[in-house]
């Protein structure tokens, strides 16, 4: 674990790749979780639009708005002292043009306190425009949750050779456009290795195999707060959901028996 208090900035992730240090990334949506994960030494906290599914009960990430994302990003930033905070650009916040992308990404840095933003897909010109504006950008290739309707569900991507070669080319172009790192989601393990070797910026895998330069999980999945079944690539490091249910049941029993509060 790095010394707590040594702030991580976007350029440091590339240095970590060059040194062979694995990058640790988890999602966070509020100040409390951010403080705990930051204290644990997590390198990057992603304020994912996955909050729509994890916290808000939606079936996809598509309903999540810019206002909601800025609100949660600001909360995470307030709870973080060391980790790099990366904010997801939600659906229709950047697809409508570079000017909209700059305006919305700027809100994440100016109002949300983020250190970078993340954009899904091969949006090379948008990435270039944001980087030229001074906004660090993390890319995202493979399974793109904001394109779930076009993809026909949350399925592993780039399983055939042509799609794999295209993904490698997209990764190279994202690097050339100025992305400082990129998430690779739900692709074959071997492709994760190939992309990681083909580019100079770090890859952060989620269901993309062990050879990526780092890994990310939804924290609520890793902590056992989300219901089963979990995605196949998830490892449960705790079962806090079960503990919360037990604690609430014990509290309810004490109240109903008149045992809490004590006289």
Catalytic residues: 185
Distance CA 36, CA 104 (A): 28
Dist CA 207 CA 186 (whole Å): 5
Instruction: Round to whole Å and give the CA distance between 28 and 76.
Output: 7
Distance CA 99, CA 92 (A): 12
Beta-bridge partners for 137: 117
Short-list 164, 167, 205, 169, CA closest to 186: 205
Beta strands at 44-47 and 84-88: parallel, antiparallel or unpaired: parallel
Look up tokens 């809490």; give the residue. Answer: 260
Closest CA relative to residue 30, chosen from 73, 66, 65? 73
Question: 């674990």: which residue's tokens?
Answer: 1
């Amino acid at each position: 674990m790095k010394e707590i208090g040594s702030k991580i900035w976007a350029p440091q992730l590339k240095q970590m790749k060059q040194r062979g240090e694995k990058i640790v990334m988890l999602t966070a949506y509020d100040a409390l979780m951010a403080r705990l994960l930051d204290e644990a030494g997590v390198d990057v906290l992603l304020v994912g639009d996955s909050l729509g599914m994890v916290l808000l009960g939606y079936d996809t990430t598509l309903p999540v708005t810019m206002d909601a994302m800025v609100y949660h990003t600001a909360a995470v930033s307030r709870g973080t002292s060391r980790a790099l905070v990366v904010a997801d650009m939600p659906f229709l916040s950047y697809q409508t043009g570079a000017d909209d992308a700059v305006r919305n990404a700027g809100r994440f840095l100016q109002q949300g306190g983020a250190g970078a933003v993340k954009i899904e897909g091969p949006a090379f010109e948008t990435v270039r425009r944001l980087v030229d504006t001074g906004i660090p950008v993390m890319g995202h290739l493979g399974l793109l949750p904001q394109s779930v309707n076009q993809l026909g569900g949350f399925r592993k991507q780039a399983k055939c050779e042509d799609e794999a070669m295209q993904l490698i080319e997209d990764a190279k172009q994202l690097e050339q456009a100025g992305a400082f790192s990129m998430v690779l989601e739900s692709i074959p393990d071997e492709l994760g290795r190939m992309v990681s070797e083909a580019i100079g910026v770090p890859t952060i895998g989620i269901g993309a195999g062990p050879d990526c330069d780092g890994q990310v999980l939804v924290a609520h999945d890793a902590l056992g707060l989300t219901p089963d079944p979990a995605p196949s690539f998830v490892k449960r490091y705790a079962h806090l959901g079960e503990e919360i249910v037990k604690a609430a049941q014990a509290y309810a029993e004490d109240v109903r028996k008149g045992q809490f509060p004590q006289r």
